[in-house]
């Protein structure tokens, strides 16, 4: 059953709500995790306007946003869009869908970037890069006038590293094991364990994962909070051999979170975070 049909079955006509709490749907609706990703992605694409330069994210959630932009271009609802892809994978997807592409050399300012995240903390700081594209993602999203993050509710954490899954660091291949030991020592206070990311090798076995930039990735796993994120970022980037890390601090403008009961949008307004909520009846026409 299509997402729109599933949502329509659970439709509850309520206005948009603003505040810390959101009411549940009066009827249960069975949405998969991929459905939630697609809902968040489609909601983000509503912000794309004709004539924009758009940063195209990478990963299973961002893929839906790229698909949706291409669909609207084919329908004539969007025109004169220029996409800036954040990975080889997204470049190939966009080319296959006929989205015009460019790069930061030709378009150094991006109107809007849309991408997923691996973690989102209460201050909208992110962990990204478990898909291996953190450097290009950060290059594009750091120059975006608006950066909308699209996630399902499983990505919400109390603090960066709170999922106890990988916080990636991209490093040069030269003496990577030295970089690994220094990173692990840097975060010893947080119970850090560092591992070189591996990928499947031809003929079986494993080999180091290589990024689009011909670098390696060291994944950091934390048992505790790492402390002040800006200090942690500075400490990592001061280590020779480090290219960049997967902490995206203060970059997100808005985060769209698709949950089983509806969509929550968190938006930065100065030092505050504004909270909006949409039940699925408000969104079903766009899906």
The Cα–Cα gap between 48 and 28 comes to: 31
Which residues contact residue 274 at a Cβ distance below 8 angstroms, ignoring those fewer than 6 apart?
18, 266, 267, 268
Cα–Cα distance between 56 and 92 in angstroms, integer?
11
Helix (H, G, I), strand (E, B) or coil at 174: coil
Angle at 18 (CA atoms; ends 35, 125), nearest 5 degrees: 65
Of 119, 137, 141, 170, the active-site residue reads 137
3-class DSSP state of 245: strand
Query: Tokens 């991408």, residue?
Result: 115
Region of residue 270 (left: phi > 0; alpha: psi -120 to 50; beta: else): left
Quote the CA–CA distance of 139 and 157 in Å, as a whole number: 24
Interatomic CA distance for residues 261 and 97, integer angstroms? 32
d(CA 87, CA 206): 23
Query: Is the CB of residue 159 less than 8 Å from the CB of residue 225?
Result: yes
State yes or no: is 137 an active-site residue: yes
**Which residues are identified as catalytic?**
137
């Amino acid at each position: 059953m299509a997402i729109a049909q599933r949502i329509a079955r659970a439709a509850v006509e309520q206005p948009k709500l603003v505040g810390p709490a959101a009411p549940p749907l009066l009827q249960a609706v069975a949405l998969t995790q991929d459905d939630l990703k697609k809902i968040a992605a489609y909601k983000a694409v509503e912000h794309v306007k004709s004539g924009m330069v758009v940063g195209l994210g990478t990963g299973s959630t961002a893929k839906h946003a790229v698909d949706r932009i291409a669909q609207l271009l084919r329908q004539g609802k969007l025109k004169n869009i220029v996409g800036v892809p954040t990975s080889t994978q997204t470049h190939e997807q966009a080319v296959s869908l006929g989205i015009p592409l460019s790069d930061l050399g030709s378009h150094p300012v991006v109107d809007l970037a849309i991408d997923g995240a691996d973690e989102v903390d209460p201050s909208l700081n992110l962990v990204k890069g478990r898909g291996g594209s953190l450097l290009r993602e950060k290059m594009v999203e750091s120059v975006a006038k608006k950066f909308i993050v699209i996630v399902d509710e499983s990505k919400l954490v109390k603090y960066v590293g709170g999922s106890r899954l990988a916080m990636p660091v991209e490093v040069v291949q030269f003496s990577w094991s030295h970089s690994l030991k220094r990173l692990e020592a840097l975060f010893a206070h947080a119970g850090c364990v560092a591992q070189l990311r591996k990928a499947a090798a031809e003929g079986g076995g494993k080999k180091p994962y290589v990024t689009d930039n011909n670098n390696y990735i060291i994944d950091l796993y934390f048992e505790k909070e790492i402390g002040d994120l800006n200090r942690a970022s500075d400490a990592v980037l001061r280590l020779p051999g480090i290219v960049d890390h997967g902490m995206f601090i203060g970059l997100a403008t808005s985060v769209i979170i698709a949950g089983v009961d509806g969509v929550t949008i968190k938006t930065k307004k100065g030092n505050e975070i504004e909270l909006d909520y949409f039940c699925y009846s408000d969104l079903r026409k766009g899906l």
